[in-house]
Amino acid sequence: MDTRLIANILRLRRTLRRRERWTRERLVEHQQHELATLRAFAVEHSPFYRQSHRGLEAAPLADLPVLTKATMMDHFDEIVADPTLHLADLQAYLERLHGNEPFAGRYWVSATSGSSGRKSVIPSNGHEWATTIASYSRANEWSGIHASPVHPVRMAVVSSTTAWHQSARVAATVRSPFIHSDRLDAAAPLPDIVARLNQLRPDILIGYASMIRALADEQLDGRLHISPGAVNSASEVLTAETRAMATRAWGIPPFNVYAATETGGIAAECAHHVGMHLFEDLVIPEVVDDQYRPVPPGQPGDRFLVTVLFSRTLPLIRYEMTDRVTLATEPCPDGLPFQLLDSIEGRTDDIIVLPTNDGGSIRIHPVLFHRVLDLLDAPAWQVRQHGADIHALIAAPGPHDDIAATEQALRVALAQAGAQPRSVSLSIVDRIPAGAAGKRPLVLADTSATAHS
């Protein structure tokens, strides 16, 4: 355990608590100051920003260019502020990583799972890493998790056990006598996960939303026997059906956490469960449409831009995330100064493009599949697109589920939306296959084929 790093995390968490008592005006002042500092640093130390922001030094944030994941990875060596960092070296380091040793003795490096098509590699210096962990600590505290030397907790995290995954690196960093964290591989067979959880009897259960739903189903069917005091869902869309199932299973509603490897914690629910408070003291969020124009509260955006105020090693200014989010129109009654996210509907990358009767094409949002397939008494499902064909996998449906009727209902829903897929089919599987990080995305869009193939 790195005692200096842990001390810095605890200090930063106290700082974040103080900010939660700020007024909105004080928060905006903080954002403006930190943004100006970040922009000046990026232009001075990053060749990429020096070029791309040239002549825009006095421009408002909304006029600055957007940074996509593809651009970030294609120009990684020009974006990083430390000229000794090179993408090839970091990738080689991640390939041989087995413990929690920092790169070059000073950088904690994580990578995304690549479920959206391409991996991101994110290096963090000590302060950035401590801030990232403090942001997760805030989400945990809001869900009622309070660990201390006099109140140790046992936490079970069903996620990725891959050493380069950020959640694994966080767990290795915060391991201490008062936080006992057990990591379970989400890609392992479900009976093995259930058996291990029954042994651990964790105080806190954390996992992907799809795993929370599968485990809730196991609890309701009498195979899982745990009584967590808090359940946190992260990394995937937490649907209303999954929330209701988890509440029935454990008698407490799960807390939704919105985070990313590139940013750390972005938003989390408080005890009121009326939305997710954006961590606006750490990131500046922008909900925009396909043309990067601001979208008002109550209306879903097509893109979500984040400026990470504490990023220095890899400055992230207007970094594009393809999540479709909606800002709430009403504030939370708890008095926090942060805006609320009303909903997260999934990535724009999850949108499926299908042909229409007139020879054109139409974009189908994942919400259509939720409306049909969430009615099944099944712990999980996945929709796969193969060109103009739609095939859905249904994991262990209930005895009263009518798969043929559901297949027809899906066909009708797509037709009503204006889509004419070449075929629509459903099949039953024991479980949904997991990706490299243990994720089981609800939608696998075929981006390599056209809708007319």
Give me the DSSP letters along 289-358: -TT--B--TTS--SEEEEEETT--SS--SSEEE-EEEEE-SS--TT--SS-EEEEEEEEGGGPEEEE-TT
Nearest alpha carbon to residue 379 among 158, 233, 215: 215
pLDDT higher than threshold 60 for residue 374: yes
Tell whether 320 and 359 lie within a shared domain: no
Q: Is residue 46 part of a domain?
A: yes
Q: Is residue 451 part of a domain?
A: no
Mean pLDDT of 413-434: 89
Q: Say whether 247 sits in a helix, a strand or coil.
A: helix
The confidence score (pLDDT) of residue 305 equals: 97
The confidence score (pLDDT) of residue 452 equals: 40
| 268 vs 400, more confident | 268
The confidence score (pLDDT) of residue 253 equals: 94
Tell whether 122 and 201 lie within a shared domain: yes
Tell whether 293 and 318 lie within a shared domain: yes
Q: Is residue 409 part of a domain?
A: yes
Cα(159)–Cα(167) distance, integer angstroms: 8
Tell whether 217 and 123 lie within a shared domain: yes
Tell whether 195 and 55 lie within a shared domain: yes
pLDDT higher than threshold 60 for residue 18: yes
Tell whether 371 and 299 lie within a shared domain: no
pLDDT tens across 206-252, in order? 998 888 988 999 999 999 999 999 999 987 778 888 899 999 999 99
Task: Give the chain's domain count.
Answer: 2
Tell whether 303 and 381 lie within a shared domain: no
Query: What does DSSP say about strands 230-234 and 255-260: parallel, antiparallel, or unpaired?
Result: parallel
Tell whether 291 and 369 lie within a shared domain: no
Which pTM value belongs to this model?
0.79
Scanning 102-252, the segments in alpha helix (DSSP H) are: 126-142, 166-174, 190-200, 209-220, 240-250
Confidence band of 1 (pLDDT split at 50, 70, 90):
low
For the ranges 164-173, 415-424, 444-453, the lowest mean pLDDT is seen at 444-453
Q: Is residue 450 part of a domain?
A: no
Tell whether 337 and 389 lie within a shared domain: no
The confidence score (pLDDT) of residue 232 equals: 93
pLDDT higher than threshold 80 for residue 276: yes
Tell whether 195 and 239 lie within a shared domain: yes
Query: What does DSSP say about strands 204-208 and 230-234: parallel, antiparallel, or unpaired?
Result: parallel
Tokens of 401: 């589920």
Cα(169)–Cα(129) distance, integer angstroms: 10
Q: Is residue 449 part of a domain?
A: no
pLDDT higher than threshold 90 for residue 41: yes
Confidence band of 292 (pLDDT split at 50, 70, 90):
very high
The confidence score (pLDDT) of residue 221 equals: 93
> Pick from 291, 313, 347: which residue ends a domain?
347
> Pick from 298, 328, 347: which residue ends a domain?
347
Tell whether 308 and 365 lie within a shared domain: no
Q: Which domain holds residue 394?
A: 351-444
Mean pLDDT of 366-386: 81
Q: Say whether 159 sits in a helix, a strand or coil.
A: strand
Q: Is residue 90 part of a domain?
A: yes
Mean pLDDT of 62-74: 95
Tell whether 187 and 260 lie within a shared domain: yes
SS (H, E, C) 340-383: EEEEEEEEHHHCEEEECCCCCEEEECCHHHHHHHCCCCCCEEEE
Cα(404)–Cα(394) distance, integer angstroms: 12
Q: Is residue 452 part of a domain?
A: no
Nearest alpha carbon to residue 316 among 331, 301, 328, 305: 305
Annotate 410-430 with b (16+ C-beta within 10 A) or e (fewer). bbebbeeebbbbeebebeeee
The confidence score (pLDDT) of residue 193 equals: 92
Query: What does DSSP say about strands 204-208 and 153-159: parallel, antiparallel, or unpaired?
Result: parallel
pLDDT higher than threshold 70 for residue 72: yes
> Pick from 347, 380, 410: which residue ends a domain?
347
Q: Is residue 291 part of a domain?
A: yes
| 414 vs 324, more confident | 414
What is the phi/psi pair of residue 81, to 5°? -85, -15
The confidence score (pLDDT) of residue 118 equals: 67
Annotate 382-407 with b (16+ C-beta within 10 A) or e (fewer). bbbbebbbbbbbbbbbeeeeeeeebb
Quote the mean pLDDT of the chain. Answer: 88
The confidence score (pLDDT) of residue 437 equals: 57
CATH number for the domain harbouring residue 69: 3.40.50.12780
Q: What is the length of the chain? A: 453
The residue behind tokens 């990684």 is: 76
